A and B are shown apart, each in its own frame.
Chain A
Amino acid sequence: MANSQRYLIQATAVIGFFLIWKFYVEFFEVSRLVLPPPEQVFVALFELFATGEIWRHLYITLLECLGGFAFACIFGVTAGMLLGRNQMLDTVFKPFVIALQVTPKVALIPLFILWFGFGLESKIIVSAVLAFFPVFANTYLGARSVDHGLLELFEVGKASRSRRFAKLILPSSLPYILTGMEMAIVLSIIGAVVAEFVAGSSGLGYLATIKLQELQVSSLFAVVIVLALIGFVLYFLVGSLRKVLIPWHESSRPTTI
């Protein structure tokens, strides 16, 4: 299928979605408080930017989720490498890691607020805790999936541990790490927004709760759209790291089969 043809189909599908939405709201006389028609949402979205109300919240949420994402990457890659390549550390820390994975981390948010206050710190930490696991789990998998033949090659060559890590284990794990990061960036946004729901005084999550309390449902929808757009842009940016960092990997090639 030609690119232009594909874009045409996708554009038609999106327009069709809004038409069905509009038709549904009008035809079934849905209350504006339940589901506003699409054009009202667009007006609300425009107003959010026109009044400048949204910028401060957008900045705060971005700061929180990018901060959380950065910590998740640093700790996730470090822990994944250590546990993935060291049998002793793996044995000792695996139960803790699994416990962390199965705990509903959202339930810990009040605790984090108790420990780190109502400011940015607690939001960044919630975001980091949520985003940590996919980075960790994928790095761990990558560190364990290093080709045995290549490890043997480095053994014959009497490579030092640090050179082996830098020249073999890290590059070989990169495709896995990037997969973890793609999952993590989405979770980091969720973490920041949920933390703002619970104890925010700014940020898009906080703004959404305010709009709900004011029963401005169109504005609520507009905030959700902004959040979705942030997610889209960040996910795209992290995804395009593939072409920069692992151009050699199969996943960086266009699929032809």
Chain B
Amino acid sequence: MRAKPSLVSSAAQNAAEAKPPLLTVNKVGRIFGSAESGVTALDGIDMAIGKGEFVAIVGPSGCGKSTLLRLLADLDAPTSGAITWTSGQAGQSSVAFQEHRLLPWSSVLDNIMLPATMRRRPNEKDRNRALELASLVGLEAFTKSRPAELSGGMRQRASVARALFPEPDLLLLDEPFGALDALTREKITGDTEEIWLKQRFTALLITHSIAEAVHLADRVFVMSPRPGRVTHVVGIELERPRAPLVGSDQYNALVNDIRAKLQDPDHG
């Protein structure tokens, strides 16, 4: 079922209206295969993402989260509806993938400035920015190391730093911490929030972890599978930084609320 206004909490609506939307996803659908017998991965997705907002999408496997991310990254085109950027032209998006996708032959520093290297010969400014980002994600001591010499958590940190390098209009996080152990994951989630609080980039996080979504997002979109639809939008109004709140009653209440909405898409 389509997300009706009544399902969207007033807090979420306020959050959406308070900031100017960066982009609008309007009735977007994506069907794989032919129109008659194809698989509907996404159906009637509506969302507006505000500039500087951090939104999260949670949903079970196969609900089309990653399809939506690919559409936003311009790796794929919708079969119906449209994604409109308020500025009139498509903004630059940048992705931190579930796998780190670092170049095995390049140092951490070279990997972080890859977005520059992809287009031209990098200059001194690029190097400095990469060094800055390396220390932002806590890798200043490992700039010369190759990915194989790093731990899983460090690789994901490098991957996030690389995604931040081009100062993207929209940072897409495709479960970048999904493969990490719980402890590392909590630490890296807290660090990500701190970086966001400093830089206030617009971010969209795709995750299986409700706790992670509550920790990071201003609004959480709850999706249901087959076909992939947004069933609920939950505004998270906890004060930031939220690391001290993890495990508190109000934090757990939000997690439980979202979990209930995930399990029962018709939940009120």
Residues of A in contact (CB 8 Å), total: 21
Q: Mark A221-257, 1 if CB is under 8 A from B, else 0.
A: 0000000000000000000000000101100000000
A153 within 8 A of B: yes
B118 within 8 A of A: yes
Check if A154 sits within 8 Å of B103, measured CB to CB: no
Q: Please, how many angstroms separate the alpha-carbon atoms of A155 and B104 in the complex?
A: 18
Check if B101 sits within 8 Å of A248, measured CB to CB: no
Given A150-B101, A248-B146, A248-B148, A156 contacting B117 (CB threshold 8 A) = no
* List of B residues within 8 angstroms of A159 by Cβ: 118-119
Chain B CB within 10 Å — which of A149, A153, A154, A164 has the most? A153
Give the shortest distance, in Å, between B150 (CB) and chain A (any CB): 13
Given A149-B99, A163-B117, A246 contacting B105 (CB threshold 8 A) = yes
Give the shortest distance, in Å, between A147 (CB) and chain B (any CB): 8
Given A171-B103, A248-B104, A248-B105, A153 contacting B97 (CB threshold 8 A) = yes
* List of A residues within 8 angstroms of B95 by Cβ: 153, 156
* List of A residues within 8 angstroms of B105 by Cβ: 171-172, 246, 248-249
Give the shortest distance, in Å, between A252 (CB) and chain B (any CB): 11
Q: Please, how many angstroms separate the alpha-carbon atoms of A149 and B97 in the complex?
A: 9
Q: Mark A167-192, 1 if CB is under 8 A from B, else 0.
A: 11001100000000000000000000
* List of A residues within 8 angstroms of B103 by Cβ: 150, 167-168, 171
B93 within 8 A of A: yes
Check if A156 sits within 8 Å of B119, measured CB to CB: no
B114 within 8 A of A: yes
The 6 tightest CB contacts between A and B, nearest first, are A159-B118, A157-B118, A248-B105, A149-B101, A171-B105, A153-B101
